[in-house]
């Protein structure tokens, strides 16, 4: 329930912020009696598409902490495992030429880790307590190296740009097509038809857009695996993925909005919208390096 409320609150904050931006830009309705105002429509779609993605990016570190219940550590806890975790992230970050990210642990039986944040200098690496219990140090190091590689590659910003462009195109073409359909029906119901068709096309084109974004996300996972192998050693990276395969049933998949923070990949049709490739495919790719 906490995650759902945070998700709703985030979306409300995004909607309010973007509405204010559009008002300041003087962009009102893009649908006129004569048809679409294409200039207003383009501004509308860019603001909502790109703006929404970038606001979510700026809030990503805070939202991850709140949604996952991440507790930050500083390497001075006196708890051997937590202090080792902090030192290992510090060493990997230095090796990657990065500023030290925030490091945290969240209490969950799932075997998982993630990196997030709006920039390389404002990033977070978090691991689950389940991962700490289930893996040996060299395997955890491989996982951490993978996450540090995500930060090093600037993956969070890249994915935000891709998501924003896809969002803008989906919104733009959905309304273009809806306007064409609107002109084919009686004027009395044209606005209702425009609204209905726009809604349906936002969903259908959004699914296609999701496939594009997921493809880029899967590609970044292969790059992060290669980067993790360079930072922590190929054997540690492969060992980490093999251990994840043994424990992939312990990854919580009940929150789709947090999918990019999970390590498991889908199969069949789900593979098209999965943000991560199957673990066996990732291991095969590393073996081929």
- Catalytically annotated residues: 147
Cβ neighbours of residue 123 closer than 8 Å, sequence gap 6 or more: 61, 98, 101, 102, 115, 116, 117, 151, 156
Cβ neighbours of residue 59 closer than 8 Å, sequence gap 6 or more: 10, 13
Distance, CA of 225 to CA of 286 (rounded, Å)? 7
Distance, CA of 209 to CA of 183 (rounded, Å)? 26
Distance, CA of 98 to CA of 120 (rounded, Å)? 7
Alpha carbon distances (Å) from 148 to 221, 223, 259? 12, 12, 18
Give the strand pairing for 35-36 and 31-32: antiparallel
Distance, CA of 108 to CA of 169 (rounded, Å)? 38
Environment class of 227 (CB within 10 Å of its CB; exposed 0-12, middle 13-18, buried 19+): buried
Q: What count of Cα atoms within 13 Å lies in the side-chain half-sphere of residue 218? A: 23
């Amino acid at each position: 329930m906490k995650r759902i409320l945070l998700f709703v609150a985030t979306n409300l904050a995004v909607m309010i912020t973007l509405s204010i931006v559009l008002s300041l830009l003087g962009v009102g309705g893009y649908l006129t009696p004569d048809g679409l105002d294409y200039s207003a429509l383009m501004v509308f779609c860019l603001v909502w598409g790109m703006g929404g993605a970038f606001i979510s990016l700026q809030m990503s570190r805070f939202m991850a902490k709140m949604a996952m219940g991440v507790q930050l550590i500083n390497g001075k806890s006196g708890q051997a495992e937590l202090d080792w975790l902090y030192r290992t992230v510090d060493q990997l970050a230095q090796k990657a030429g990065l500023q030290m990210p925030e490091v945290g642990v969240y209490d969950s039986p799932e075997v998982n880790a993630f990196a997030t944040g709006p920039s390389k200098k404002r990033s977070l690496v978090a691991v689950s307590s389940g991962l700490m219990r289930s893996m040996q140090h060299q395997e955890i190091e491989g996982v951490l190296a993978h996450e540090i590689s995500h930060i090093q590659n600037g993956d969070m910003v890249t994915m935000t740009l891709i998501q924003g462009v896809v969002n803008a195109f989906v919104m733009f073409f959905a309304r273009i097509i809806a306007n064409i359909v609107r002109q084919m029906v009686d004027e009395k119901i044209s606005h209702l038809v425009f609204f209905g068709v726009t809604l349906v096309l936002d969903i259908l084109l959004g699914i296609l857009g999701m496939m594009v974004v997921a493809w880029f996300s899967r590609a970044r996972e292969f790059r992060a695996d290669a980067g993790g192998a360079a930072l922590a050693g190929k054997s540690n990276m492969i060992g980490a993925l093999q251990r994840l395969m043994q424990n992939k049933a312990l990854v919580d998949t009940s929150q789709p909005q947090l999918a990019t923070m999970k390590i498991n990949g889908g199969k069949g049709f789900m593979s098209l919208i999965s943000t991560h490739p199957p673990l066996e495919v990732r291991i095969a790719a590393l073996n081929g390096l």
